[in-house]
Structure 1
Amino acid sequence: MKHPLKGTFPLSILATLVAAAALPLQAQTAPENLEEVIVTAQKRTQSIVDVPVTISSLDGETLEALGIDRFDTLSDMVPGLVVQQQSVNNNGYVIRGITSDDGSAPGAARVSVYLNGTDVSRSRASYFEVYDMERVEVVKGPQATLFGTAASIGAMSFITAKPQQDFASSLTVGAGNYDMRKLEGMITGGNEMLQGRLAFTTRERAGYVENTSDEADLNGYEREAFRPSLRITPSDDLTIDLVYNYDKATDPGTAFVSRERLFTDDAALSVPDNNVLGMNDVGVDRTVKDFNATLLWDINDQLALTYIGAQREYDSLEAFDADGTGFEMLNFSEDATGDQSSHELRLNFNGERINGFVGASYFEETADQFVGFASEEGTFLSCAGALAAAGIASCNTDATTLLTGGAVAALPYESHYANSADNSNLNLFADIAYQVTPNLEATVGARLVKEERASGYYSALPNSAILASQGINSDLFSGLIPNTGGETLSGDTDNSALLPRFNLLYAINDNANVYATVSRGERSKVIDMSSGVENILPSEEIDNYELGIKGRLANTPLDYSLAAFYQNYENFQVNVIDQDSGQTRTENAGSATNTGLEAELRWYPTEQLQLLANAAWIDAGIDSDAGNGTYAGNQFRLQPELTATVGYVYDTPIGGALLFTSSGNWGYRSSVYFDIANQYEEDAVDLLSLRAGITASDRNWALTLAATNLLDEEYIMDAGNTGSSFGFPTYIAGAPRMVSVEFNKRFGAF
């Protein structure tokens, strides 16, 4: 892959956008059904067209109409966003072609996931059930000033629905194929001083891959979550929001299958009885608890003080069979635990020509990752080809019996390694927007970050009895994984950075704004101890240049946005699976560039029909420079060159008291690689989802039939994985056609 534009922004794209911005547009009054989209990405309430960054927003009503209740379905409607979910414990977030999916304790996120104004970006704790939402905002490009250092490539911000004074409640029940069941609801009400809300969801679905080694089929889910919240308003100037989130998942596990078993809906996966994996079945047991307190004090018409404090803890255990076969060869588990706490104090100010905020925040976390391994010695060594000289064929389950002359039928082997992290950062930030002229606004922002990061690593790998009988004193991995004998190796580092952003927003007229952005992002240093010695990877640095136009087409109920961007990376960090030991480690791949276009449309051709469309084109990868080593010229993992989605929401009267409702979306993505080495590739995929039903004209009940992947397309979610290091690459099949029916009943004021 060549990147001839390295160091320069594509002038042809700039010229196209400037020409589009210069077209004469006439002012108009918006139709009643084309509501203004309000966002808070810049820490103040604004119309989305007045925000000088590329941002997508979906409110709770649209999320419900389109059936978006998971992170991966959210990505269908946001250009430049791809969400991959191997399991609830292992999520990959891709914004503009750059993936954030590091699950190790020392690793740092690239995408900030925010929940009610709080950073919850740690990979194993970032997922939560999407229900009873006020809105979701996705901001693209480095957003350190707004969302901290974890937002080196963008941020996903989830705002839950708040309590209200008037009584309201709703209940949804659903059922579908693969034994799908769903129960979801909420109730809210109160008085002038105190309002409460309780929302909950519980859903489950059997797996779509039959597991012949266990009763539970794979790639299913079993989730429950509830969210009590209080809003206290002792005066008109003071609002206190208290929100508690509880998420529990006991999913049956992920089907890592061989190529031969892919799309056969059949697997033979299990883990043996063991003392190290934490469970005796493949599966997930994950609990996340989160408490958030937000205080907003309107000091006067110009000043407002906000405090946000949060405490989050998680314990996520997952056991998996990594070889994709029925052999007891590669059985792993990961037990990730952590605690996070954060505090932010921010003063917002607004005047006739100056708006902005200043503030400080403190964040600290402790994280631990324990990886257990269980196998049978003879099976492992024969599958690894280590017993060929003894005349024992590959993956011979009788290898131990043959080597011991029948004295022993099996030799269980257990080992483990673990890493830990203690991280903290102190932030000082400010962002000021100045109205230079009635049509021109300039924004300058910066975040000063002071980070301290400490990392630890230990392992315990006993010697193999079979290798010892051959005079070889070694563990099963032949010393490729450092063995500390249980002793912890530790290292630490600190880092300071000043991360600025500059924005210009020019109002062409009442309907169209053109904007330009220059910003810098940084992904934290990584302290990698997995080699047995301290290895500090330098911070990943990103320079981002962006130009866009957003607004409403003259005399037409059509909102649009179009953006072009160019990003330059230094010290690009990539996660790779060691081809000898199977351990995941972080490497410095050198320089990288990323160029792209994003477009988004929302149109009401009639009062009853809303059309949504988006598209993104991305040319990204490691630069071809020889100094970038092994991955020079390679495309990023999970990065499609082209994504596009077309969706709609429609309703029409079918009687005096009934409406017919329907919604759907068709999504396309071009081919992707599943690894930075570009060994595993999947061709283009397009999926269709539809919903249709009837509802009361006052919307107090609805009956809906829904189908995802309606055409039952076969596609892959991931490939390679841990098994590839041992010559057993595995694949994860995407979900087949899922059909469900839901009934919703509402009471009170909506």
Structure 2
Amino acid sequence: MKAAAAQSRLSNRKIGLMSGVAGLAALALPASALAQSQIEAGQPVQTPVSPQTSPTGPSPEDNSGEIIVTAQKRAQSINDVGLTIAAVSGESLRQRQVASLDDVAKLVPGLSYSNTQNGTPVFTLRGVGFYDTSLGSYPTVSVYLDEVPLSFPVLTRHSVFDLERIEVLKGPQGTLFGQNATGGAINYIAAKPTKDFQAGLEVGYGRFNRFTGEGYVSGPLSETVGIRVSGRVEHGGGWQYSVSRPGDHNANLRNYMGRLLLSYDDDDGVRFLLNVNGWKDKSSTQSPQFLALFPSYPVTPADGGAFNFPFTPFNPRAADWTPGIPYADNRMGQASLRGEVDITDAITLTSLTAYTDYKQRQGTEGDGLPIRTLELTADRGRIKSFSQELRLSNGGNQAFRWTVGANYEHSTVDQNVDNRYDESFANIYLGKTLGYPIFNSFYTNNQTMENYAVFGNGEVDVGQFVLKAGARYTEAKRKAYMCNQDPSGAPNGTGGFFFDVLLGGAYGAYSPDRCFSFNQFPDGSPVVDYLPAGAPGAYNARINEDNLSWRLGIDWKPQRGTLVYANVSKGYKAGSFPTTSASTFAQYLPVVQESVLAYELGVKLRPFDRLLQLNAAAYYYKYTDKQLRSKLRDPVFALLDVVQNIPKSDVKGAEVEAILTPGENFTLSTGFTYTRAKIKEFTGINASGVEADFAGSEVPFTPKYQLAADAEYRVPLGDSLKLFVGAAANYRSSTVAVVGGRTNPVGAIPARDGLFVIKGYTLVDARAGIASADDRWRAQLWGKNIFNKYYWNNVVSLADVIGRYTGMGATYGVTFAYKFGG
């Protein structure tokens, strides 16, 4: 009885401590909102897996060579998890010079990365993605850093440094990860503080005068406190050259990243991990290649504008831009506090509090020309996001394993864009015919998001089988304020054109403080009820949605080294408002939440122990209300941007992965993915301006075939040195950048086939070097895209032009790394 009473007092003390930590964290971190569900990223432990997982830990492999992952919010061998997971170690990331989101996508078949106009990354996984560059748009492939969500894609730009590993979870992850993970989740697991002093430094120099430096210092401050400080610097010249101004270059590199981790473990069941990280990006965003003309007004070459310039040569480095643009001065800071308390030997209470602050100040090249047909001369933005998660879970060694918890997120996203189109066909035509040249607008999108969620997940062993079930209920609230203004104050400018011409002077003269977009559908009916039909003003609206994500599954383990699994799940992505320069309120309308019903059958085999690992999976996704960026036909401005829902679409596919390690000195890994993603029902106007019934069209950014392979051979040179050589190849078949992208819009010049097609390509990387036998130091030569393949991953239609975003040509360099201590 005394022991029980003592245990009860200890549990009460720990619960009080955890509650206090959650409260103090909420006060200590500047709060402005909250984020959704996360993963238990980065708590690798040695097997057997204990019920609790320390914020500090050894390598992601246990003593038997098993890869330990945290895909289900507990540490497990990757071969015991009935999900499709791609895991890449930190050492492999360093040797393959993975330092960007594009590099990450090349490692994983089924994962695609797309460049965008303003540098906001877009991931598509197994045909599931959402192409929208607005700061406030949630993704379909969520990204996390050590359990903390990077809720908006722009926040994910610079987290790939000093990592223990990356986990890519394929398929809907809504039960444990929350909404906005319908395609999957990418987990960055940062390297943790070590029990003894360790330090490391890696420096590199490559083509385009590019220098990189990365380092860390790690060790104990006391018996209970550990620290790790790491950072990375990227600096170099631009790889794009101007076709009109010899000697001028773009896409320079100016990135600075840092991370501080403080861990506490009292060996009495109380653990904390403070993570303070951030980055500053002063690189210039990439310029598109001027691929084709798409005149939106009846103009001729004699009128000038984009007609006066040649199309960009088909060279990966060739491009053009307006002098002074692009530029960037963006920064992100994040602080998170994770606390764990072992309530009993089998039950742990976990709290995660996080605050993220992002500030954007950049100018973006829109048309790939040295004139202003469309430029975002000032793109300002701010994201403030606060999140809190509390959960209870029991130990991984229990026959019945469960997790229950709750999430809260509150985020504010403000974006203000100065849009210039001085030499656009619209400006030329309206200025010449009506005396109202429209050359400038300033549009604003201010949003507040609030999400609440409760979730539970459980699995139980029944002989050779594991039965799995989980659910999450989410309530999401979002409100938006949007306005389009003319800051120039010109009497016959854009605002004057709206008030004097389109509105016939009914609302007086225009002044720069007024919003000129008016409350009207194309048929003349009102969009909102707080303004008369056709009246100008600001757009205010709300979205209130809720959903129930769930998953059911069964794992079968007939023998050691064999896992067969089957899952069925339902996931959701939240609705959102676009950020766009609008003529009418019809462009401001949001998309509603999308949903996916997913079926997956897979197998994981180790037929020859460590010699061979085989994984295979087949999947089918049934999509409802898939979100996409498209166009609206406006009677004055022809085609304008909107977001819409595709009523029905589906994805069918299969993938196979094999990892062969016949000995200590050779490793070969291959992965193949087949994905057939089709629109089942959608009639409208696509993002290139084609109006049609798109049933049967392929889903954008989804190659039917993807293949990745990597091989490395190591040769001992005596007792103290070893030589290594390696190569990687990545193949992707053709896809499209827009729905119906194999059909060109009418009037495009030139009318060559497939302006919006992304052709298939194969990229080859190589590496070779020498290292000490104990991996204390490493010197390496490396090359990326060594055959200088010309390829692109996105094509966009903006104003009068169609532009193509290319990948980098051949790059090469040398790196040297050294480790201290340990």
Fold conserved (TM > 0.5)?
Answer: yes
Deviation at 1:262, TM superposition (A): 3.9
Deviation at 1:125, TM superposition (A): 1.7
Deviation at 1:468, TM superposition (A): 11
Cα-to-partner distance string for 1:308-337 (whole Å, 9 max, x where unaligned):
111001112331232222223212143231
Give 1:444's aligned amino acid.
A
Whether the 8 Å CA contact 1:145–1:446 is kept in 2: the answer is yes
Which residue in the other structure is 1:747 paired with? 820
Counterpart of 1:736 in 2: which secondary structure? coil
Give 2:239's aligned amino acid.
Y
Q: Distance in 1 between matches of 2:657 and 2:596?
A: 25
Counterpart of 1:74 in 2: which secondary structure? helix
Which residue in the other structure is 2:415 paired with? 369
Which residue in the other structure is 2:517 paired with? 482
Whether the 8 Å CA contact 1:440–1:505 is kept in 2: the answer is yes
1:117 aligns with 2:142: no
Cα-to-partner distance string for 1:92-112 (whole Å, 9 max, x where unaligned):
101001223433255332111
Which residue in the other structure is 1:607 paired with? 664
Seen in structure 2, the aligned counterparts of structure 1 residues 469 and 342 have a Cα distance that, compared at 3 Å, is closer
Which residue in the other structure is 2:644 paired with? 587
Farther-moved stretch of structure 1 (625-634 vs 140-149)? 625-634
Counterpart of 1:67 in 2: which secondary structure? coil
Q: Pick the aligned partner of 1:193 from 215, 224, 238.
A: 224
Which residue in the other structure is 2:10 paired with? none
Which residue in the other structure is 1:414 paired with? 440
Deviation at 1:295, TM superposition (A): 1.1
Q: Distance in 2 between matches of 1:435 and 1:639?
A: 37
Which residues of 2 match residues 709-720 of structure 1 at below 5 A?
709-720=785-796
Q: Distance in 1 between matches of 2:453 and 2:676?
A: 33
Give 2:381's aligned amino acid.
A
Give the gaps of 5 or more residues in structure 1.
1-30, 272-279, 391-402, 405-410
Deviation at 1:560, TM superposition (A): 1.7
Whether the 8 Å CA contact 1:270–1:320 is kept in 2: the answer is no
Q: Pick the aligned partner of 1:429 from 455, 476, 483.
A: 455
Which residue in the other structure is 1:227 paired with? 259
Give the gaps of 5 or more residues in structure 2.
1-60, 292-310, 504-509, 520-534, 686-691, 745-755
Q: Pick the aligned partner of 1:446 from 471, 474, 479.
A: 471
Which residues of 2 match residues 73-92 of structure 1 at below 5 A?
73-86=103-116, 89-92=119-122
Counterpart of 1:729 in 2: which secondary structure? strand
Deviation at 1:300, TM superposition (A): 2.9
Which residue in the other structure is 1:668 paired with? 731
Whether the 8 Å CA contact 1:374–1:412 is kept in 2: the answer is no
Q: Distance in 2 between matches of 1:113 and 1:597?
A: 23
Give 2:547's aligned amino acid.
A
Whether the 8 Å CA contact 2:290–2:802 is kept in 1: the answer is yes
Q: Distance in 1 between matches of 2:71 and 2:62?
A: 25
Q: Distance in 1 between matches of 2:270 and 2:537?
A: 52
Give 2:556's aligned amino acid.
Y
Farther-moved stretch of structure 1 (427-436 vs 367-376)? 367-376
Q: Pick the aligned partner of 2:624 from 556, 567, 570.
A: 570
Which residue in the other structure is 1:250 paired with? 282
Q: Distance in 2 between matches of 1:299 and 1:177?
A: 55
Cα-to-partner distance string for 1:602-640 (whole Å, 9 max, x where unaligned):
210222011111111000021157799643222112111
Farther-moved stretch of structure 1 (302-311 vs 209-218)? 209-218
Seen in structure 2, the aligned counterparts of structure 1 residues 481 and 670 have a Cα distance that, compared at 3 Å, is farther
Q: Distance in 2 between matches of 1:747 and 1:486?
A: 65
Q: Distance in 1 between matches of 2:267 and 2:578?
A: 51
Whether the 8 Å CA contact 2:130–2:628 is kept in 1: the answer is no
Q: Pick the aligned partner of 1:532 from 577, 581, 585.
A: 585
Seen in structure 2, the aligned counterparts of structure 1 residues 467 and 644 have a Cα distance that, compared at 3 Å, is closer
Seen in structure 2, the aligned counterparts of structure 1 residues 193 and 295 have a Cα distance that, compared at 3 Å, is same
Give 2:786's aligned amino acid.
L
Cα-to-partner distance string for 1:281-322 (whole Å, 9 max, x where unaligned):
312221011111111222333111111111001112331232
Which residue in the other structure is 1:11 paired with? none
Cα-to-partner distance string for 1:476-521 (whole Å, 9 max, x where unaligned):
9xx9982699953211121221111001000021011100000001
Seen in structure 2, the aligned counterparts of structure 1 residues 486 and 660 have a Cα distance that, compared at 3 Å, is farther
Whether the 8 Å CA contact 2:425–2:800 is kept in 1: the answer is no
Q: Distance in 2 between matches of 1:385 and 1:639?
A: 38
Deviation at 1:453, TM superposition (A): 1.1
Q: Distance in 1 between matches of 2:493 and 2:275?
A: 56
Which residue in the other structure is 2:273 paired with? 241
Whether the 8 Å CA contact 2:198–2:218 is kept in 1: the answer is yes
Deviation at 1:235, TM superposition (A): 3.1
Counterpart of 1:296 in 2: which secondary structure? strand
Give 2:191's aligned amino acid.
A
Which residue in the other structure is 1:288 paired with? 332
Q: Distance in 2 between matches of 1:624 and 1:495?
A: 23
Counterpart of 2:92 in 1: which secondary structure? helix
Give 1:310's aligned amino acid.
A
Q: Distance in 2 between matches of 1:245 and 1:267?
A: 34
Deviation at 1:150, TM superposition (A): 1.3
Taking structure 1 as the reference length, what is the TM-score of the superposition?
A: 0.86
Give 1:460's aligned amino acid.
Q
Which residues of 2 match residues 320-719 of structure 1 at below 5 A?
320-332=364-376, 333-350=378-395, 352-376=398-422, 379-381=423-425, 385=429, 413-437=439-463, 439-461=464-486, 465=492, 473-474=500-501, 482=517, 487-527=537-577, 531-532=584-585, 535-554=589-608, 557-576=611-630, 580=637, 584-623=641-680, 630-678=693-741, 679=744, 680-719=756-795
Give 1:459's aligned amino acid.
N
Which residue in the other structure is 2:250 paired with? 218
Cα-to-partner distance string for 1:43-92 (whole Å, 9 max, x where unaligned):
00111111111111112122223222222111222221112234783101
Q: Distance in 1 between matches of 2:439 and 2:453?
A: 47
Whether the 8 Å CA contact 1:124–1:336 is kept in 2: the answer is no
Counterpart of 2:647 in 1: which secondary structure? coil
Counterpart of 2:199 in 1: which secondary structure? strand
Whether the 8 Å CA contact 1:464–1:475 is kept in 2: the answer is no
Farther-moved stretch of structure 1 (178-187 vs 329-338)? 329-338
Q: Distance in 1 between matches of 2:569 and 2:495?
A: 58
Q: Distance in 1 between matches of 2:202 and 2:710?
A: 23
Counterpart of 1:612 in 2: which secondary structure? strand
Which residues of 2 match residues 57-68 of structure 1 at below 5 A?
57-68=87-98
Whether the 8 Å CA contact 1:460–1:486 is kept in 2: the answer is no
Which residue in the other structure is 2:529 paired with? none
Whether the 8 Å CA contact 1:82–1:94 is kept in 2: the answer is yes
1:263 aligns with 2:295: no
Deviation at 1:355, TM superposition (A): 0.6
Q: Distance in 2 between matches of 1:528 and 1:669?
A: 30
Which residue in the other structure is 2:295 paired with? none
Seen in structure 2, the aligned counterparts of structure 1 residues 569 and 737 have a Cα distance that, compared at 3 Å, is same
Which residues of 2 match residues 112-151 of structure 1 at below 5 A?
112-151=142-181
Q: Distance in 2 between matches of 1:177 and 1:683?
A: 26
Deviation at 1:648, TM superposition (A): 1.8
Q: Distance in 2 between matches of 1:317 and 1:433?
A: 47
Q: What is the RMSD of the two structures over their aligned residues, measured on CA atoms? A: 3.0
Give 1:731's aligned amino acid.
R
Whether the 8 Å CA contact 1:641–1:671 is kept in 2: the answer is yes
Q: Pick the aligned partner of 2:101 from 71, 96, 107.
A: 71
Deviation at 1:121, TM superposition (A): 2.5
User: Structure 1 vs Structure 2: percent identity of aligned residues?
Assistant: 24
Give 2:170's aligned amino acid.
K
Counterpart of 2:102 in 1: which secondary structure? helix
Seen in structure 2, the aligned counterparts of structure 1 residues 132 and 468 have a Cα distance that, compared at 3 Å, is closer
Deviation at 1:474, TM superposition (A): 4.8
Whether the 8 Å CA contact 2:424–2:800 is kept in 1: the answer is no
Which residues of 2 match residues 272-283 of structure 1 at below 5 A?
280-283=324-327
Counterpart of 2:192 in 1: which secondary structure? coil
